[in-house]
A and B are shown apart, each in its own frame.
Chain A
Amino acid sequence: MFSYYLELALRSLKRSPGLTALMVLAIGFGVAASMTTWSVFRAVSGDPIPWKSSKLFVPQIDAWGPSGRSDKDDGEPADAMTYMDATTLMGAHRAKLQSAMYQIAPSVVPAQAGRHPLNVTGHAVASEFFPMLDVPFLYGSGWSAQDDAQRSAVAVISSRLNEKLFGGSNSVGQTLNVEGKDYRIVGVMNNWNPQPRFYDVVNTGGFSESIEDVFLPFERAIAVSIPSNGNTNCNAVPAESGFVGLQHSSCVWIAYMAELDDAAAVSMYRDYLTAYARDQQKAGRFGWAPNIRLRDVPAFLDHEQVVPSDTKVSLLVALGLLLVCLVNTIGLLLAKFLRRSGEIGVRRALGAPRKAIYAQFLTEAGVVGLAGGVLGLLLTGAGVASVGWVLPKSISDLARLDVSLLVITLAVAVVATLLAGLYPTFRASRVQPAWQLKSN
């Protein structure tokens, strides 16, 4: 029976090619606009480390007090840490794994004579950074806790930098000249570039086009004064000059992450932070009650609003377009179905039950939806490919055309058109056979 309805549907659609084309175009455009913007939204709102994000926490400690929050007093502590708080937390070592970190942009001088120096970006981190974030390695591994303590001149580099400097061969044990000093390479990461850059949202705003090429030990970078290339926010100008002055100041410029594996560990860590802030209050450094936060990665990303509002507005407007296209389709299907009242009357008079009318017309709607979906697929492909034209590259590059997007595009088109076809089909099934036969 289905193949018979399919044939009827195709014949009916062929009879009014203009109307059919209009419906297919409307569905195609509506679905493509929604799916293209959704692919971007999906990319930027995704969880960068889904297997572990609920165990990774970002502690915040209020080092400024109420007077440091002049513009909007929502009681939120700064989203980065002072050097003093970060190093104290590192020293206390209360989490299973933890790392203080700051963004660096050192110059790297290639060993080969005559090659221009390169500017690379990366982070100064602790040894526990690598196991905590499950950083994949192509060669070697991260450095040891001993390297942290001894401020060893060791480095982890990206596979991209390894390709550029060492032709992609195993460079572990080789020397890397960073800011004029030699570092021993201990590990080469395997294409690691998580987006959003959850371990340091404060400095990247979440998304960054640049790839992190170099990781150095935190203590080492501080000791040789590799400056921070990230944001530095101060509530007062540091009392002392230079990089050391920054370390002694109340400026916030250090990101921090800790791994806490269960609820008990989380609550113990929260107690520790509160106790630390209370100690600072007692010592007279903080003139206010403990004000701390401990958010896991998804909550912190939400708090930092990493999904740009433009992305959300685009998605909403595109969904609005899809809605209008569906209303349009309801109207056109209604016109199309009711024009065939005579045919419906004859079928009903010959004994077809309402169910049969439903099957016939919903098949027709489904065919329109499928055709619209196929057009929508092509347009979504074009849309995802050209979305870089209208959205910032750091975000548009994340939008991917994959199997799940294709399947969802088709499914949305068919389901939406079937829903749009429900009312027109209901009206068609209500056609009175006697009335139709009589008036003919």
Chain B
Amino acid sequence: MNMQIKPILAALRRHKAGTVLIALQIALTLAIVSNALFIIQQRVAHLSEPTGIDEANLLVISNQWAGDMSPQQIDAQILTDLAALRQLPSVQDASPGSGFPLKGGGWDNYVMRTSEQVEPTTDASVYLGDEHMLDTLGVKLIAGRNFNASDVARMVERQVVIPSTVIVTKALADHLFPDGSALGKPIYSMSSTPSTIVGIVERMQRQGVTNWNKPYAYESLLWPMRQDSGGLYYIIRAKPGQLAAAMREAPQALLAQNRLRIIDPKDGGSYAQIRERVYESDRGMAILMGIISVVLLAITAAGIVGLTSFWVGQRRKQIGVRRALGARRSDILGYFLTENLLIGIGGVAVGAVLAIGINLWMVTQFEMERLSLVYVGTGVVLLLLLGQGAVLAPAVRASNVPPVEATRSV
């Protein structure tokens, strides 16, 4: 093989245009495909982040009050609703809520360690609920205690109520108190009134999962409070395997209690539906990048087949001469494979630089992270293998050219 490289280079010099075009195509394909693969990986990793809650059995119902109801009437109605929900045969537990993980944005507060602090320490997603909230969500309490019924406060629209107790996620506890001493400490959430950390839960995703939320991932705080105006969410945990029954029964049970309410079917739902909504654009981008990558690779492979076939056709006579002079079939096959490998190496070298360049430019223009070299490496291997695979059929055809071809004049 080694001794063949020189004549191959000499031959390529006579096909400059074709060589450059194949190499260019490989370079562009590599640049795009490695960035596309990177985007796919980022999006898939993002949408497979765990929430820390019992998603398989959870159901969220968005409930708005209609007509003119006083906060007292609303609070009484919430309590009756919850009692009715908890009695359903398919329901394990239920809690009122102001939001839910993966809601796609919602209430979040700055959190500080002292009341005099000007710069916030961090930002936490705020969840309201009652003493049933932890059991309903299925989050794991790793330190301290759950809320009890006497902790639960009431709040009407935009009332400033700071409950005296708070449960935080481990991520928030570690951010606020890196030495692990969070339990029992007061925190200040945009107020000079403290809330004392009475419990720490293992993990609970934020309501929003956009780029803005990334620095505060999994930092959530839970306040024992019912919201007695506007509307609320009922978070319902079905008994294992009975989610479908709960989804049927729960809205009916609520409407049977009182018809003056609006249950928004486009909000909440099962976690399959909630995930689909919040990660819609991530999943879409991953699919789109996947489709474009496949089309790109297919077109590049087809282009290599086409151009190599043409070269084989053009060189039939020379191949015949080589065969007549004693070259074996494997020599001819090796010639075309090596030729393609050389062009491919040239192409991926340019392509790798291009891939990194494009990524660096996108980092400045869009919310994009730096391309990991693993994806460029994967792309390089993929394209070299693709080139070898594409050239195989024309190369086999070339190796089948009989030596007698040398004697033909056309």
Contact = CB atoms under 8 A, between A and B. Distances in A.
Interface of A: 18-19, 22, 25-26, 29-30, 33, 67, 70, 105, 107, 109, 116-119, 179-181, 225, 227, 234, 236-238, 240-243, 245-246, 308-310, 312-314, 317-318, 320-321, 323-325, 327-328, 330-332, 334-336, 338-339, 389-393, 423, 427, 440
Contacts of B311: 335
Contact of A391 (B229, B281, B295, B300): B281
A26 B304 CA distance: 13
15 contacts: A109-B67, A117-B261, A117-B262, A237-B191, A241-B160, A241-B161, A242-B158, A243-B158, A313-B39, A313-B366, A321-B295, A324-B25, A331-B306, A393-B280, A423-B17
B313 interface: yes
B106 to A, nearest CB: 10
Contacts of A338: 310, 314
Contact of B18 (A179, A314, A321, A334): A334
B158 A246 contact: yes
Nearest to A319: B32
A331 B28 CA distance: 14
A327 B21 contact: yes
Contacts of B302: 22, 25-26, 328
Nearest to A18: B306
Given A314-B288, A320-B32, A423-B17, A242 B307 contact: no
A318 to B, nearest CB: 7
A304 B365 CA distance: 15
B119 interface: yes
B25 A317 contact: no
B66 to A, nearest CB: 3
Contacts of B261: 117
Given A26-B302, A328-B302, A331-B307, 4 more contacts: A118-B262, A119-B262, A313-B39, A391-B284
Given A117-B66, A242-B159, A243-B157, A321 B292 contact: yes
B306 A19 contact: yes
A109 B67 CA distance: 7
Nearest to A328: B303
B24 interface: yes
Interface of B: 17-18, 21-22, 24-25, 28-29, 31-32, 35-36, 39, 64-69, 118-120, 156-161, 190-191, 229-230, 259-262, 264, 280-281, 283-285, 287-289, 292, 295-296, 299-300, 302-303, 306-307, 309-311, 313-314, 362, 365-368, 410
A318 B24 contact: no
Given A310-B285, A331-B306, A324 B299 contact: yes
Contact of A29 (B18, B119, B295): B295
A392 B313 contact: no
Contacts of B296: 321, 324
Contacts of A331: 18, 21-22, 25, 303, 306-307
Most buried by A among B157, B264, B287, B313: B157
Contact of A440 (B39, B67, B410): B410
A242 B227 CA distance: 12
Contact of B66 (A109, A240, A330): A109
B175 to A, nearest CB: 16
B281 A308 contact: yes
Given A237-B190, A331-B22, A324 B158 contact: no
A29 B284 contact: no
Most buried by A among B25, B280, B283, B303: B303
